[in-house]
Every structure is written in C-alpha cells, then in structure tokens.
C-alpha cells in the first residue's frame, strides 16, 4: 500500500488507514524504529502492563516470599525520627 507524505505544521506525516491501525493494534502512542529499508511503526510498549495479574498469580502459587528479610533493616530516619 502506498501513502502520501503530507505537511503538518513544520513537520511531515502520513495518514494510516483505520483498518491498518486496528490490525496493527496501534493506539495514541507508538514507537518509531529506523531500519535499513525504512521506518517501522510499532505499538508503544507499556513496561508494567499485566504486572498486577502476574503478582496475583505469584501470591496464589505462594511464590511471593521476600528475598531479603527487611524486618530488621532500619534507616536513621526510622530509628530516630519516626513516631507513631
């Protein structure tokens, strides 16, 4: 499919047809990657997407134990300034 590069203010852009946007699952934010053959437009990654579900599965599988026991670790703020 061909598209025309158009002027948008001081920049340039292309119009992406709605069916392509839907098929590629593009949203408001995208990542642009330069490749030897041109430009690749990908959905923007959300680094913490699905973390809540992963943490829930870990808790359900009893895999959420602390790696470091921090119950005895206190900062100077906790030792001297913190009051209940």
pLDDT value of position 79: 76
Q: What is the pLDDT of residues 70-80, one digit of tens each?
A: 777 777 787 77
To 5 degrees, how large is the angle CA 67–CA 70–CA 75?
A: 145
Going from N- to C-terminal start, the domains of the chain cover: 1-64
pLDDT value of position 56: 92
Q: What is the pLDDT of residues 17-62, one digit of tens each?
A: 999 999 999 988 999 999 999 999 999 988 888 889 999 999 999 8
Nearest to 52 by CA among 43, 68, 64: 64
Mean of pLDDT values over 57-68: 86
pTM beyond 0.75: no
pLDDT value of position 50: 87
The class of domain 1-64 in CATH terms is: mainly beta
E-state strands within the chain: 6-8, 11-13, 30-35, 38-43
């Amino acid at each position: 499919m061909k598209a025309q590069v158009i002027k948008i203010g001081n920049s340039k852009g292309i119009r992406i047809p709605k069916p392509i946007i839907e098929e590629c699952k593009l949203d408001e934010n995208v990542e642009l990657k330069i490749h030897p053959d041109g430009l690749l437009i990908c959905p923007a990654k959300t680094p913490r997407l699905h973390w809540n579900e992963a943490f829930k599965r870990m808790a359900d599988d009893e895999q959420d134990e602390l790696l470091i026991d921090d119950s005895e670790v206190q900062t100077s703020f906790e030792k001297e300034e913190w009051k209940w």
